[in-house]
Chain A
Amino acid sequence: MIAAAVLAALATACVLAAEALIRARWTWHAPRTAILLWQSVGVTWGLATTGALLAYALEPYGRGVVHGLAGVLTTFSYGVHDLRDLVRLTALVAGLALLALLVALPLTAGAQTLRARRRHRELLSLIARDEPAVPGVRVVDFPGAAAYCLPGLRSEVVISNGTLSLLSPDELHAVLAHESAHVRERHDLVLLPFAALRRALPWSRLIRDAQASVELLIEMAADDRARRQCSPRRLATALLRFGTATATLPTPDGALGTLGGTPAGPARMPGRPKSTAGANVMARVNRLVRPEATIPAPHRFLILTGSVVLTASALLLWLIPG
């Protein structure tokens, strides 16, 4: 019973930690450390929630989750004698279903993402052109401002024609350094499980906010890496130029629309504070222009150790009997 109770407490602690991380601002001073902490909280939450259900269900066996589960699954029998056993059986089914879901979700999301990227890559090869002024970058003839990275084994950095006329050469250099940072640190893989959870549970405010936090942290991590190669001030002005560029929107049939307003597309989720996009740009600009002291190394080390201990404790609790 103890393992189940501790795992349940751990799962609750992870939810509280996520709430705290969403509100926290120290994370902006150490985005990489914060991203690792987010990953650890996410994995621990999954292990603890499923572990609590399974530990409760398998408690009569007294052999812990891993061995108990192996026993039940190999003999394929679970003795039901009274109502209490029935509740335990329900917990067993719920735990296994949740576990399967948490494994399957990122896998299917990954497959879907790969398909979307392949289609995008095929279209790029037919449409994008090389521009002598920016070697190694694909250019799409589109008047609006767009700069992004298509991750993969052969990652590609893509910008629109509009970006070329919007930015000065120094600013363009800064944007490209930022996008290369995404490529090099494989930020798409960090985002994948959060995006998968978000798709599975679109109504969960916590998951939505968590995904948004991680997205912003990844941008900040890329800004930090880019500033080693470019002027942080030019990266900041590039950000502001993008943020204030008139939103030229493509419509699916190929026509272009210019909206004075925010992209009114379905991307703006209901219930999300409207200020987010602009506030995020300002937050990134501020930390580029006025870099505040980073979090001291010992503190960062402490946070990293905490992350490891957190996840390791959930794993241990899967093993201990009772």
Chain B
Amino acid sequence: MKGLGELERTIMDILWARSAPLTAREVGRLIEDRDLAPTTVMTVLDRLSRKGFLNRTRDGRAWRYQPAASRDAYVAELMLEALDLTGDRDAALTRFAQAVSGSEAEILRRALTELEDH
């Protein structure tokens, strides 16, 4: 039995890989772990919807689930924060260093060559 966090990942990956919205039963069939109880899949789908990562629409008596945003969009959201480009310099993360440009980058590049030579 996988942990809930890992199951959330697996399910998101499945839904990201499909273009069409899937029902809980369809998602369950695509999970490799066949012993998984259908209610567990439903619980995880529900959790992901409540967190805003999935949108769901009614289809007869079942719900169909679809990612709220693409995987790339979420990667971008993480990296915008990581590179301090969100505009509000909050203290949410501590970052290693930033890339610079122009004459400044030239100075750094020279310093790097110098250090590598020794």
Contacts and interface: CB of A to CB of B under 8 A. Distances in A.
Interface in B43-99: 51, 53, 69-99
Nearest to A192: B91
A78 interface: no
A187 interface: yes
A254 B89 contact: no
15 contacts: A113-B90, A120-B81, A122-B51, A125-B9, A142-B79, A147-B95, A191-B91, A194-B91, A211-B89, A239-B97, A244-B108, A254-B76, A261-B102, A266-B87, A278-B100
The residue in B9, B12, B81, B116 that gathers the most chain A C-beta atoms within 10 A of its C-beta is: B81
A236 interface: yes
Contacts of A250: 75-77, 79-80, 83
Interface of A: 109, 112-113, 116-117, 120, 122-127, 140-142, 144-151, 158, 160, 175, 178-179, 182, 187-188, 191-192, 194-195, 198-199, 211, 218-219, 222, 233, 236-247, 249-256, 259-263, 265-267, 274-275, 277-279, 281-282, 284-285, 289
Given A250-B75, A252-B77, A266-B85, A282 B94 contact: no
Contacts of B96: 146-148, 175, 178-179, 238-239, 242
B72 A120 contact: no
Interface residues of B, number: 49
B36 interface: no
Contacts of A251: 76
Given A175-B96, A265-B85, 18 more contacts: A120-B78, A120-B92, A151-B94, A158-B82, A178-B96, A179-B94, A191-B94, A195-B91, A233-B115, A243-B97, A247-B101, A250-B75, A250-B79, A252-B76, A252-B77, A278-B107, A284-B97, A285-B115
Interface of B: 5, 8-9, 12, 51, 53, 69-102, 104-105, 107-109, 111-112, 115-116
The residue in A178, A244, A255 that gathers the most chain B C-beta atoms within 10 A of its C-beta is: A244
Contact of B89 (A122, A144, A148, A195): A195
Given A127-B78, A241-B112, A255-B72, A247 B94 contact: no
B108 A243 contact: yes
B94 A187 contact: yes
Given A125-B8, A263-B85, A244 B99 contact: yes
A246 B105 CA distance: 10
A116 B92 contact: yes
Contacts, number: 198
A116 B108 contact: no
The residue in B78, B79, B91, B102 that gathers the most chain A C-beta atoms within 10 A of its C-beta is: B91
A184 B105 CA distance: 31
Given A123-B78, A233-B115, A237-B116, A243 B90 contact: no
Given A140-B78, A233-B115, A254-B73, A243 B87 contact: no
B75 A127 contact: yes
Contacts of A144: 79, 83
A250 B100 CA distance: 16
Given A126-B9, A250-B80, A277 B112 contact: no
Nearest to A142: B79
A253 B73 contact: yes
A199 B92 CA distance: 13
Contacts of A236: 115
A242 B99 contact: yes
Nearest to A152: B92
Contact of A243 (B92, B95, B105): B105
A126 B8 contact: yes
Nearest to A116: B92
